[in-house]
Amino acid sequence: MNSKQLSLHLLGLAGIEINGKNPWDIQVHDDRLWNRIISQRELGLGEAYMDGWWDVESIDQFLTKLLEINVLDKAPFSISLVGHAVKSTVLNRQTKVKAAANAKHHYNIGNDLYARMLDKEMAYSCGYWKSAKTLDQAQIAKFNLICRKLELKPGMKLLDIGCGWGGLLRYAAKNYGIIGTGISPADNQIELARAKNGKLKIEYLQMDYRDLSGKFDRIVSVGMMEHVGPKNLETFFDKCISLLAPDGMMLHHTIASNETKQVTDPFFDRYIFPGGVLPSLAQISEAVEKKVIIEDVHNFGPDYEKTLLAWYANINKRWREIPNYDERFRRMWNYYLLSSAAGFRARHIQLIQVVFRPMTSRGAYKAVR
């Protein structure tokens, strides 16, 4: 079969028609698409969308259907992507220098975009939709869930690794009376977090987690572990454990892969999160074995689909307000949001919160939801 015949076969297995009338049917504008897809797989599909070679009414439904048939297992191996796989497997792409550059690639693209896409507190991670009806409510519910899981009390020192724009720390300081420290390698985030902080007892530092020192009663990271990289997971946890008070507790909130991997989707690696790899629960467990107790694992991955669709709706109402982002960027960003939503809908990726306590901890941990 040539590339078009093979592509049509795979699309047919997923119930997708060419130029059909269903919202998941692909509309093809350039017949070079087929060679690009077969030769470059997910990278080719995403870049071809950015270039306007194809459209679909509902990207998330289209990609969900492909994921549900495990289309990558059926597609031929791509020689053109060997370099990406080798680089990701052999090299540490999250050294201090590379980690700072990787973070700035994504988080320094402009607070004007994030302020229009996110909730009022600018939480750039999965909301908790158990009882929430709006994005703002879901993010506040997530903040409160984390605070309750960490059993925060007034005067506790709380470290937020990868604090973003500071929303969680501000909530914890206002509602639980903590003394906060937040770190991020992205200067745009730190500057805005400081501007939003007012007189709360929180300091924000632009730095790498590996340079931290001191002791904290509680440690949290939300959407940070995806950027650590598999070669650094043990280093990351060892640093956290060294910073944790003997009677402390920590919670890590992360997107998780269903399988252990050393490489990530080449489209996401090139355009969205360079060097990022989603950890598996097995990798997390191995990194902390004999070092801390895993007290609780909570998976609410389907809530991320709702969060991503809310972000998509928000930013697509307001693209006209930020004309410095061109059409190719807009298509790339929409593809990122909706392909991520498809991943969670198809249950190919999860969202987990894991609570840890030192080996010296006594008594049962009471999990909350």
Q: Domains, the chain, ranges and CATH?
A: 3-77 (no CATH), 94-358 (3.40.50.150)
pLDDT, position 21: 97
| Predicted TM-score of the model (pTM) | 0.93
The Cα 200–Cα 193 span in angstroms is 11
Lowest-confidence pick of 91-100, 134-143, 183-192, 241-250: 91-100
pLDDT, position 80: 59
**Structural Rg of the chain based on CA atoms:** 21
pLDDT at 58 over 60: yes
- Rounded to the nearest integer, the mean pLDDT of the chain is 93
Query: What average pLDDT does the segment 163-179 reach?
Result: 98
pLDDT, position 110: 82
pLDDT, position 101: 67
pLDDT, position 36: 95
Lowest-confidence pick of 32-36, 85-89, 114-118: 85-89
Token match 């049962």: residue? Answer: 364
Structural contact between residues 192 and 118, judged by C-beta atoms closer than 8 angstroms: no
pLDDT tens digit sequence for 249-287: 999 999 999 999 988 889 999 999 898 899 999 999 999
90: confidence class by pLDDT, cuts 50, 70, 90: low
What percent of the chain has pLDDT above 70? 92
Query: What average pLDDT does the segment 44-65 reach?
Result: 98
Query: What average pLDDT does the segment 334-347 reach?
Result: 98
The Cα 143–Cα 220 span in angstroms is 11
Which residue(s) pair with 184 in the sheet?
Answer: 206
pLDDT, position 77: 74
Backbone φ and ψ for 153, nearest 5 degrees, come out as: -135, 155
Q: How many CB atoms lie within 10 A of CB 127?
A: 28
Q: How many CB atoms lie within 10 A of CB 279?
A: 24
pLDDT, position 164: 96
pLDDT, position 264: 85
